[in-house]
Amino acid sequence: MTTLARIGERLRQHYGEPGQHAHERLQSWLAGEVPYAYPEMLTRQLDADHLALVFDAFWQILPFGTGGRRGRVGYGPNRMNPTTVAMTVQGHCQYLTSAFPNRTDLAVVVANDVRVFHDLAGVYDFLGHTHPLLGVSSRSLGKLACEIYAGNGIVAYFAEPENDAAVLTTPELSYLIGQLGAVGGMNLSASHNPPDDNGIKVYDQHGSQPVAPDDQRLVDIMAQATDIRSIPFAQALSRDLIRPIPRRLHEEYIQTYMRLYDRLHTPLPAYPVVFTPLGGCGLTTVGALLERVGFPIQTPPDQGPDGTFAAIPFRIPNPEVPQATEPAKAFADTHGIGVVLSSDPDADRVGLEARLPDDGWYHFDGNQLAAMLCYFLMLDPRGPQRKGLVIETLVTTRLLGKIVAQAGDSWIVDDLLVGFKYVAAVLKALDRTGTYHGVRCAPEQLVLAVEESHGGMLLPHLKDKDAAPICLYFATLYQQLRQEGKTLLDYYIHILEELGGYADVNRSIMMSGAEGVLRRDRLMHSLRETPPRQLGGFAVTDMIDYWDEARFGPFVSETDKLPRNVLQIVTDGGVTIIRPSGTEPKLKFYCQLLPHGAEDLRGSALLEAVRTRAVAVAGQVYNELLARLDCRLSEAGLLLSDIIDLSHKRTFDTTTIPQLRQAFLCGSLPSLDDTLSWLRAETAGMTPGADPLPALRAPLAALCEQWQTEGLSSPALEALRRWTRVESIESVETQRTQETLKTQRT
């Protein structure tokens, strides 16, 4: 039996029918039936030690999800690599030539972010340090895309073609498609994912991502596109098939938002703000816009473009993750600045942190950002007091509906599936017919479109989310509040006092790999087969299944079915929405609680009450969902960040915690340094390529309190308790950052 036959037999034995599919795809790749397959690298993976890796890389083709294809870089069809990109781009070429048969001037815009694959998780260490995927970047994949477009006779506009450090953000890509009269676009980016990931997003002639069934036709063509036609980059450039993006268009993009700012009639900015692109592209858009308006912005010196995101805790450049901006907050403290704005690597999501009077910091989640922005635009006497259309996804806070109702003469669309492509679809429908599901207005009446995952849109002709204008508005609001002696948190609390104690908490159950996908699907099936009677402590009154074809219409394609894999569970306390992520290996759920029991509270007491209630409900829902997988997490396990895979959380619960407790009992970890070193080694897999200790602070604090209550006592435990309270990893990082900055200034 050959080596390939033996690996095929093992795949079938371990994984059944999916293992057979993996073997068939592996054979195809080894036979050179797909481009850029690197058979010599695959051959080195054909042994029992790498069976799980081979299965996970070959059991499926990387799905075309909410925002295109996104996943780990690696060898195989379920990975991001030159093969995945080439087949996606070739399929897009064939799709465009069939969709525009009478056009002889087809052109696209190709964008890329900063990421570079260095295999920080060490998945392919056994291949050595020179294998072909090491060093593959969004830029190199973007150049490959340009070569394929050129080979198919389609002009590719590319940022500074001869500059390998050039980048282009997602929102500017959306803008440029319309300005250049292109028929589509392609973006090589994994947005806020870890640095070992990459992705590819496809855009239509409107500057938006296609929805079903258009995206299904695209996927079907891509699946068969193995005959790749390309022209070498330099040759395509000399033949004018690859063209630089005209510089004037960047200036026009900036001016578009400058005109928005001019309508606010605010005093000139005086108070500096910190902006961090979290190692991504945001300085070219957010930073440029703030500077042009005149905001005195400062950026931490080590947080500019960096495809490894080395300066970002956990290497997770996501504004949704509070720890991502810890170094930027330390920088702000050093400079006496009271606000930190951030954007993710492709600059379409925004983050906001506000310094409080006690010098602590408050992290605003996406629902809070949406509510503050909507209130400022529609109800705040200092704002533009606009009336018109607000659009939000169904997982975004219900507080926006209250704001729109109070504004009057306005409309809200609040039932959209997740993804800004559905927002764009509403605007395109309004442009064509003037109506969308009973709402009659023009696209120009758009006030705001938002989603809970820190994304927003202010102008209808830019049909994707953009961090630049959102940062501009929050920087402006910060100026106004600072002059009044108030904070951004005061502003949010005022909204709750006026409109009610709404609360929203979103959580994720990360489940990586093929087994994770199967468990995720099993959980969704369980909910459909046996709907819960109670959830999060509330009685369930209804469950709305978006796979219900009688209620929501028949599936028009497989790409329609995937985003409709959503359950909306209505209780007497609010709504919980459960869905698999379309871009990451996790199940997400969103707890939206209605005002209840805090009507007489004011100020920080109101915020604390509604937040505590929502966090408790979300933790209970988390374990009620896990119970359907025959597992649960302790209080400490629930406190671990949701960027950590469920398998690591369970290991922390079942192995790390008991071993740590036993070590304190027997004295085998006599000092704090010994304890932290042991913890760092035991939990290294939680955050590949990054120090795991910041992720442990909250659960360790809870454990220290619990064990002391139980009577457990040791010097090392007391030292660990002090570390979680005082000498936290954040404060240590703050101190180091301050020392570095003082040295730099000297």
pLDDT of residue 394: 97
Q: Which residue has the tokens 């371990």?
A: 14
User: Are residue 607 and residue 682 in the same domain, yes or no?
Assistant: no
Cα separation, 97 vs 370, whole angstroms:
40
Q: What is the DSSP letter of 198?
A: E
pLDDT of residue 433: 95
User: Are residue 612 and residue 711 in the same domain, yes or no?
Assistant: no
pLDDT of residue 150: 98
User: Are residue 331 and residue 469 in the same domain, yes or no?
Assistant: yes
Is residue 728 very low, low, confident or very high in pLDDT (cuts 50, 70, 90)? very low
Strands (E), 260-364: 273-276, 297-298, 339-343, 350-355, 361-363
User: Are residue 391 and residue 463 in the same domain, yes or no?
Assistant: yes
Q: Which residues pair with 353 in a beta bridge?
A: 340, 363
Query: Is the Cβ–Cβ distance between 640 and 649 less than 8 Å?
Result: yes
Of the three residues 208, 241, 274, the one that is the final residue of a domain is 241
* 738 part of a folded domain: yes
User: Are residue 288 and residue 434 in the same domain, yes or no?
Assistant: yes
User: Are residue 218 and residue 356 in the same domain, yes or no?
Assistant: no
pLDDT of residue 733: 37
pLDDT of residue 1: 65
* 48 part of a folded domain: no
pLDDT of residue 269: 82
pLDDT of residue 386: 96
Of the three residues 434, 466, 496, the one that is the final residue of a domain is 496
Supply the mean pLDDT for the chain: 93
Q: What is the mean pLDDT of residues 719-735?
A: 62
Assess whether pLDDT exceeds 80 at residue 736. no
* Domain harbouring 93, CATH code: 3.40.120.10
Assess whether pLDDT exceeds 60 at residue 210. yes
Q: What is the mean pLDDT of residues 653-681?
A: 96
Our count of domains for the chain comes to 4
Assess whether pLDDT exceeds 60 at residue 528. yes
User: Are residue 718 and residue 691 in the same domain, yes or no?
Assistant: yes
* 24 part of a folded domain: no
User: Are residue 280 and residue 157 in the same domain, yes or no?
Assistant: no
Assess whether pLDDT exceeds 60 at residue 65. yes
pLDDT of residue 118: 96
pLDDT digits (tens, 9 = 90+) for 9-32: 999 999 999 999 999 999 999 999
Sign of CA dihedral 600, 611, 389, 168: positive
pLDDT digits (tens, 9 = 90+) for 108-129: 999 999 999 999 999 999 999 9
Assess whether pLDDT exceeds 70 at residue 168. yes
pLDDT of residue 746: 31
User: Are residue 508 and residue 476 in the same domain, yes or no?
Assistant: no
Is residue 239 very low, low, confident or very high in pLDDT (cuts 50, 70, 90)? very high
Assess whether pLDDT exceeds 70 at residue 318. yes
Q: Which of 630, 612, 736, 713 is nearest to 667 (CA)?
A: 713
pLDDT of residue 732: 37
Measure the CA angle with vertex 248, ends 242 and 251; round to 5°: 125
pLDDT of residue 599: 79
Torsions phi, psi of 73, nearest 5?
A: -75, 135
Assess whether pLDDT exceeds 50 at residue 215. yes
pLDDT of residue 66: 66
pLDDT of residue 492: 98
pLDDT digits (tens, 9 = 90+) for 636-647: 999 999 999 999
* 293 part of a folded domain: yes
pLDDT digits (tens, 9 = 90+) for 566-577: 999 999 999 999
pLDDT of residue 414: 96
Query: Is the Cβ–Cβ distance between 490 and 481 less than 8 Å?
Result: yes
What type of residue sits at position 408? Answer: G
pLDDT of residue 513: 87
Q: Which of 588, 393, 568 is nearest to 510 (CA)?
A: 588
pLDDT of residue 726: 57
* 1 part of a folded domain: no
Sign of CA dihedral 52, 58, 59, 60: positive
Lowest mean pLDDT among 173-187, 260-274, 371-385: 260-274
Sign of CA dihedral 459, 462, 465, 467: negative
User: Are residue 540 and residue 686 in the same domain, yes or no?
Assistant: no
* 26 part of a folded domain: no
Residues composing the chain = 746
* 53 part of a folded domain: no
Of the three residues 612, 632, 652, the one that is the final residue of a domain is 632
pLDDT digits (tens, 9 = 90+) for 418-464: 999 999 999 999 999 999 999 999 999 999 999 999 999 999 999 99
Q: Look up the domain containing 307 and give its range.
A: 251-496
Lowest mean pLDDT among 389-398, 594-603, 618-627, 701-710: 594-603
Assess whether pLDDT exceeds 80 at residue 133. yes
Cα separation, 283 vs 189, whole angstroms:
16
Q: What is the mean pLDDT of residues 533-553?
A: 97
pLDDT of residue 342: 98
User: Are residue 146 and residue 172 in the same domain, yes or no?
Assistant: yes
Q: Which residues pair with 298 in a beta bridge?
A: 274
Whether this prediction's pTM lies above 0.85 is answered by: yes
Q: What is the mean pLDDT of residues 579-598?
A: 90
User: Are residue 263 and residue 159 in the same domain, yes or no?
Assistant: no
Assess whether pLDDT exceeds 80 at residue 739. no
Assess whether pLDDT exceeds 80 at residue 509. yes
Assess whether pLDDT exceeds 90 at residue 598. no
* 37 part of a folded domain: no
The tally of CA atoms less than 13 A away on the side-chain side of residue 726 is: 5
